[in-house]
Amino acid sequence: MRRTLALSAALLVWAAARTAFADGGRLRASEDVGAFRVAIFTAPEPVFAGRADVSVLVQDRASGEAVLDADVTLELLGPGGAQSVVTAGRHARNRLFYGAQVELAPGAWIAAARVRRGASEAVVRASFEVRDSRRAAVAWPYLSIPPCAVVLYAANRGLRNRERKRRSG
C-alpha cells in the first residue's frame, strides 16, 4: 500500500513539474556585452507556430542588478526572410523582464535583442526552432491518463492479493 501511495505521489509531482512555467520561459542565450548581461528567453517550450512570448532580462554587468530603465528592441528573422522588429515592453508576469508577444511561423528563427541605456548599447542573438503543430503536445496529458490508471489499478490489486496471502498463510 505504501508503495502505491509513493508511486502515486511521484507521478503527481512529476506531472506538476512538467507543467510548471518559469517567469521568462526557456533560456536561449545569455551573454555579457559592454555594460550589460543580457539573456533571451522564449515561451512556451517547445515553441509552436502562432503566438509566442520572447522575453529579455537585462542586468548590470558589474553589480548583477536588473536594469529597469533600458530601451529594448527585438529584431526577429524567420524562415523565408520573414522579419519583424518590436519594441519590448515590461513583462506582465515579471516586471524584471522586457518582453513581446510575437507571431511565429514554423522554421528556424533568430532573435536579436538590442539594449540601449544612455550611451551604452548591446546586441545579443539567439536562435531557436518553431514547430509546426501543437496537437500532440496538447493531447499527451489526456492520453497518458488511461495508462496511468491501469498501472495504478494493477499495483493496487497486486498489493491487496499479497496482503490476503500473507494474512491467510
17 or 10, which is more confident: 10
Q: What is the pLDDT of residues 91-149, one digit of tens each?
A: 767 888 998 899 999 999 999 999 999 999 999 999 999 988 766 566 777 778 888 89
Please report, as a single letter, which amino acid is at residue 68: L
Please state, for a pLDDT cut of 90, what percent of the chain lies above it. 41
Q: Determine the 3-state secondary structure of 114 from DSSP.
A: strand
CATH no. for 22-132: 2.60.40.3340
Q: From its phi and psi, is residue 80 left (phi > 0), alpha (psi between -120 and 50) or beta? A: left
DSSP 47-107: -BSEEEEEEEEEEETTT-PBP-S-EEEEEEE-GGG-EEEEEEEE-SS-TTEEEEEEEE-SE
Q: At what angle do helices 2-19 and 135-168 cross, to 10 degrees?
A: 170
* Cβ atoms < 10 Å from Cβ of 128: 19
CB 91 within 8 A of CB 57: no
Question: Which pLDDT value is given to residue 141?
Answer: 76
Residue boundaries of the structural domains of the chain = 2-12+136-164, 22-132
